[in-house]
C-alpha cells in the first residue's frame, strides 16, 4: 500500500513539474498518454530492433513530441523531434491531394473531368477517360509500376518520366481499389499544369510555407543547408543493422519523396484536425475538408477504402483517417480521428518489423477513442457465418502488382482459413501474422485490434475479391491463370525429370540413342536437363540475394542475379522447343524402350509447359503481357 501511495505521489509531482500546473485531470491524462507512448515505443523498438523513431501526438490543443533512439548509429546522433528529418514516403501523397483539392476549390480543377483537358505534355494510358476522382481513390485501373524506382527514369522531366514508366490499364476505371504510385505522380503533373508553376514550387509556396512547415522538404535535391539533416536509415539482417540502400524517386516525388520532422508533422495533424485551418491560416474551407473524408466510390460498405486520398478505416466505433508510407527502410504512419480531435504520427528509420508506426499508432488512437466513449461493438451473430467463412477461404493475390513483365510473378499473396465458428484466420498487415477475425456482418470480419476484411462477391454470389484492412489494396482469388505458384510447380516437375535424365546418362555411361537420330534427341535432352538445374540453382541464388538485400533487391534494377536467371529462362524456353521437336525422332529411333520413350516425352511436355508458364508470367522473352 505504501509503495502505491509513493508511486501516486511521484506521478503527481512529475506531472506538476513537467507541465507547470497541479496534477489536474488534464495533466494526468497527458502524463498518462506520454507514458503510454514512450512504453509502446521502447517496447516495439527493443523487440524489432528499431534504430530510431519520431513521434507526434495531437489531442485538441495539446501536442506531444518525441524522439527515440538514434538518427545516426555510427555518429551516435540521437533522434529528436525538431532536429532531424525522417522520410515519410507515401504520406507525401496527402500533400499532393491537398494541392488537388485546393485547385478544385478555386475552380481550376474538376474531380470528375477527363484530366486530358488539364495535361499539357502528358497522356494517360488506357482507352477510357481518366479523372482525378479515379486517381484520388486509387481506382485508375493501372497495374503497379516498379519503373518509378528506376533512378534513370526518375531523373527525367516529369512528363518524360511518366511516359517512360506508363503502366498498363488492367481494370475498368473506378472498379477496383489498387494502389497506384504512378497515378499519384500523374496527379502531381495535373497540379503543376493547372497551377502554372512547378509542383515543387506549388508545394512550398502554397502549402508548406503557409502551414509553417519550414523543416519539411520535397526531396533531398531541394533541401536547404539550414534545414535539419536527414536521418540515416538501416536494414536489419541477421540481427545486425546495416546502412540502407537509398534511392531518390526524382520526378515521381508527388507519390512519396518528402521528409519531415515530428514537430512539422504535428502541425500538419493540427491542420487536418482544424478543418483546413492552422494558426489563422486557412487553405481549405471546412466543407471541402468534410468532402475529403467521404468516399467517391462507396461500394465497400463497412470496410476500409480510400476517401479522397485518405485511408478511411472503420475502427473503434468511428472512422480512422490517414496514410502510411515506406521508402528507403523508413516506415511512417499518420492517423487521426476528427470526431475526437486526436491524431498520431510515428516514423522509424529501419527495423525488423513495423509494429511501432502501424500498431502503435492504432493502439494510441484506440485508447483515446475509449477515453471519449467510443469503441467497436461486440461481434454479433451473423447468419450463415460458417458457410460464409468457407466461401472466403482460399488463396488470394494482390492487385497492387505488375501484370506485365517478370515482376508480375512476385506478387504478394494472402491465405485465408475458415474456422468452424464462422471466424477466419487472415493476415494482418500491422502485425505481420495470421490473426483471428470474427464475423461482425455478412462477409465482414474484424480482428481484435479493429482491422477488417471484406469479401466481395460477383453477381453469381461467388467470392472473387478481398478488401484489405488498410484500405489501399484488394486481393483477387487465385485461379490457374493468375497463380504464380504454377511456375514453381512446373519448374519443380521439370527438375525431377531432368534429374532422372541425368541419372540415365550415368547409368548408360554416356549419350546412347540407338541411332544417330536417337543420339541427337538424347543429347538435346541431356543439355536441357543440365540447363534446368542451372536455372534452379540460379533461381535459388537470386532468392537468397533477395532475402539478403530486402528492398534493395527490388529497387536496384537490373539486379545481376535476376538478370542471369531471366537469361537462363530464355535459353531453357528454346531448349524446351527443341526437346519437344525431338519427340519425332525419339518415337522413330531404334533401341529405345517404351519406358525411355515415355520418360523423354514426359520431360518434353513438362519443359514445354514450364516454358509456356515462363512466357505467361513474363519470365522469358518479355512474356506475353
Query: Is 353 a residue whose pLDDT tops 80?
Result: yes
Q: In the CATH scheme, what is the homologous superfamily, with its name and number, of domain 86-371?
A: DD-peptidase/beta-lactamase superfamily (3.40.710.10)
Band of the pLDDT at 24, cuts 50, 70, 90?
A: low
* Cα(336)–Cα(271) distance, integer angstroms: 11
Distances (CA, A) of 415 to 392, 433, 443, 473: 10, 11, 16, 15
The x, y and z cell numbers of residue 183, run together, are: 497515378
Other CB atoms within 10 Å distance of the CB of residue 514: 16
**Is residue 10 classed as helix, strand or coil in its secondary structure?**
helix
**Is residue 493 classed as helix, strand or coil in its secondary structure?**
helix
- Annotate 573-623 with DSSP letters as a single string: HHHHHHHHHTHHHHTT-TT--HHHHHHHHHHHHHHHHHHHHHHHTT-STT-
pLDDT mean over 379-383 = 85
Band of the pLDDT at 444, cuts 50, 70, 90?
A: very high
User: Mean pLDDT score of the chain, rounded to an integer?
Assistant: 89
Percentage of the residues of the chain whose pLDDT score is greater than 90: 62
Domain 385-480 -> CATH class: mainly beta
Name which of 246, 261, 108 is nearest 190 in CA terms.
108
pLDDT mean over 459-475 = 91
Q: What is the pLDDT of residue 4?
A: 38
What is the CB-side half-sphere exposure of residue 333 using CA atoms within 13 A? 22
Q: What angle in degrees, to the nearest 10, is found between the helix axes of 92-105 and 181-195?
A: 40
Own/partner pairs, 464-469, CB within 8 angstroms, 24+ separation: 465/176, 465/396, 465/399, 466/392, 466/396, 466/414, 466/416, 466/426, 467/177, 467/300, 467/303, 467/304, 467/305, 468/304, 468/414, 468/429, 469/304, 469/313, 469/428, 469/429, 469/430
Band of the pLDDT at 197, cuts 50, 70, 90?
A: very high
Partners of 282 in the β-ladder:
277
Query: Is 315 a residue whose pLDDT tops 90?
Result: yes
Q: What is the pTM of this model?
A: 0.88
**Is residue 407 classed as helix, strand or coil in its secondary structure?**
helix
- Annotate 137-166 with DSSP letters as a single string: TT-S-BPP-GGGG-HHHHTS-HHHHHHHTP
* Cα(382)–Cα(454) distance, integer angstroms: 14
* Cα(290)–Cα(17) distance, integer angstroms: 39
Cβ–Cβ < 8 Å for 146, 407: yes
Q: What is the pLDDT of residue 393?
A: 95
Q: Where along the chain do its domains lie?
A: 86-371, 385-480, 484-616
DSSP designation for 115 = G
**Is residue 265 classed as helix, strand or coil in its secondary structure?**
helix
Amino acid at each position: 500500500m505504501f509503495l502505491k501511495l509513493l508511486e501516486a505521489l511521484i506521478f503527481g509531482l512529475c506531472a506538476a513539474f513537467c507541465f507547470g500546473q497541479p496534477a489536474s485531470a488534464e495533466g494526468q491524462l497527458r502524463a498518462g498518454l506520454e507514458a503510454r507512448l514512450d512504453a509502446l515505443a521502447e517496447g516495439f523498438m527493443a523487440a524489432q530492433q528499431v534504430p530510431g523513431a519520431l513521434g507526434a501526438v495531437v489531442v485538441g490543443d495539446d501536442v506531444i513530441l518525441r524522439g527515440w533512439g538514434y538518427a545516426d548509429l555510427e555518429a551516435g546522433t540521437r533522434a529528436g523531434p525538431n532536429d532531424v528529418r525522417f522520410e515519410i514516403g507515401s504520406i507525401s501523397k496527402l500533400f499532393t491531394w491537398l494541392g488537388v483539392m485546393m485547385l478544385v476549390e478555386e475552380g481550376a480543377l474538376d474531380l470528375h473531368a477527363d484530366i486530358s483537358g488539364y495535361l499539357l505534355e502528358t497522356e494517360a494510358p488506357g482507352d477510357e477517360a481518366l479523372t482525378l476522382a479515379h486517381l484520388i481513390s486509387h481506382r485508375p485501373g493501372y497495374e503497379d509500376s516498379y519503373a518509378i524506382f528506376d533512378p534513370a527514369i526518375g531523373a527525367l522531366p516529369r512528363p518524360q518520366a511518366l511516359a517512360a514508366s506508363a503502366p498498363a490499364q488492367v481494370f475498368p476505371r473506378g472498379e477496383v481499389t489498387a494502389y497506384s504510385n504512378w497515378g499519384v505522380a500523374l496527379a502531381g503533373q495535373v497540379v503543376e499544369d493547372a497551377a502554372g508553376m512547378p509542383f515543387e514550387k506549388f508545394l512550398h509556396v502554397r502549402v508548406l510555407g503557409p502551414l509553417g512547415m519550414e523543416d519539411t522538404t520535397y526531396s533531398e535535391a531541394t533541401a536547404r543547408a539550414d534545414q535539419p539533416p536527414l536521418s540515416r536509415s538501416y536494414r536489419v539482417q541477421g540481427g545486425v543493422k546495416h546502412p540502407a540502400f537509398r534511392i531518390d524517386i526524382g520526378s515521381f516525388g508527388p507519390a512519396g519523396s518528402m521528409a519531415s520532422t515530428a514537430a512539422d508533422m504535428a502541425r500538419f495533424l493540427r491542420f487536418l484536425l482544424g478543418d483546413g485551418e492552422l494558426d489563422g491560416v486557412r487553405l481549405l474551407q471546412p466543407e471541402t475538408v468534410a468532402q475529403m473524408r467521404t468516399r467517391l466510390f462507396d461500394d465497400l460498405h463497412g470496410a476500409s477504402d480510400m476517401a479522397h486520398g485518405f485511408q478511411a478505416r472503420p475502427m473503434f466505433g468511428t472512422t480512422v483517417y490517414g496514410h502510411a508510407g515506406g521508402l528507403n527502410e523508413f516506415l511512417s504512419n499518420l492517423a487521426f480521428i476528427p470526431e475526437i480531435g486526436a491524431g498520431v504520427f510515428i516514423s522509424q528509420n529501419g527495423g525488423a518489423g513495423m509494429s511501432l508506426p502501424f500498431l502503435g499508432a492504432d493502439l494510441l488512437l484506440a485508447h483515446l477513442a475509449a477515453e471519449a466513449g467510443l469503441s467497436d461493438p461486440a461481434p454479433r451473430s451473423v447468419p450463415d457465418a460458417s458457410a460464409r467463412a468457407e466461401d472466403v477461404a482460399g488463396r488470394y493475390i494482390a492487385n497492387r502488382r505488375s501484370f506485365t513483365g517478370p515482376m508480375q510473378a512476385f506478387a504478394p499473396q494472402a491465405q485465408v482459413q475458415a474456422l468452424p465458428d464462422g471466424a477466419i484466420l487472415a493476415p494482418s498487415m500491422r502485425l505481420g501474422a495470421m490473426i483471428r477475425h470474427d464475423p461482425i456482418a455478412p462477409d465482414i470480419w474484424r480482428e481484435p485490434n479493429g482491422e477488417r476484411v471484406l469479401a466481395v462477391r460477383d453477381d453469381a454470389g461467388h467470392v472473387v475479391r478481398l478488401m484489405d484492412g488498410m484500405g489501399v489494396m484488394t486481393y483477387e482469388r487465385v485461379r490457374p491463370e493468375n497463380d504464380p505458384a504454377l511456375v514453381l510447380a512446373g519448374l519443380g516437375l521439370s527438375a525431377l525429370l531432368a534429374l532422372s535424365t541425368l541419372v540415365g546418362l550415368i547409368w548408360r555411361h554416356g549419350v546412347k540413342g540407338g541411332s544417330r537420330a536417337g543420339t541427337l534427341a538424347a543429347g538435346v535432352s541431356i543439355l536441357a536437363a543440365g540447363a534446368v538445374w542451372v536455372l534452379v540453382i540460379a533461381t535459388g541464388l537470386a532468392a537468397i540475394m533477395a532475402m539478403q538485400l530486402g528492398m534493395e533487391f527490388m529497387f536496384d534494377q537490373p539486379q545481376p542475379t535476376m538478370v542471369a536467371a531471366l537469361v537462363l529462362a530464355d535459353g531453357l524456353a528454346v531448349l524446351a522447343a527443341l526437346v519437344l521437336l525431338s519427340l519425332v525422332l525419339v518415337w522413330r529411333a531404334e533401341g529405345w524402350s517404351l519406358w525411355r520413350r515415355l520418360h523423354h516425352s514426359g520431360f518434353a511436355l513438362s519443359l514445354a509447359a514450364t516454358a509456356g508458364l515462363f512466357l505467361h508470367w513474363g519470365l522469358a522473352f518479355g512474356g506475353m503481357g
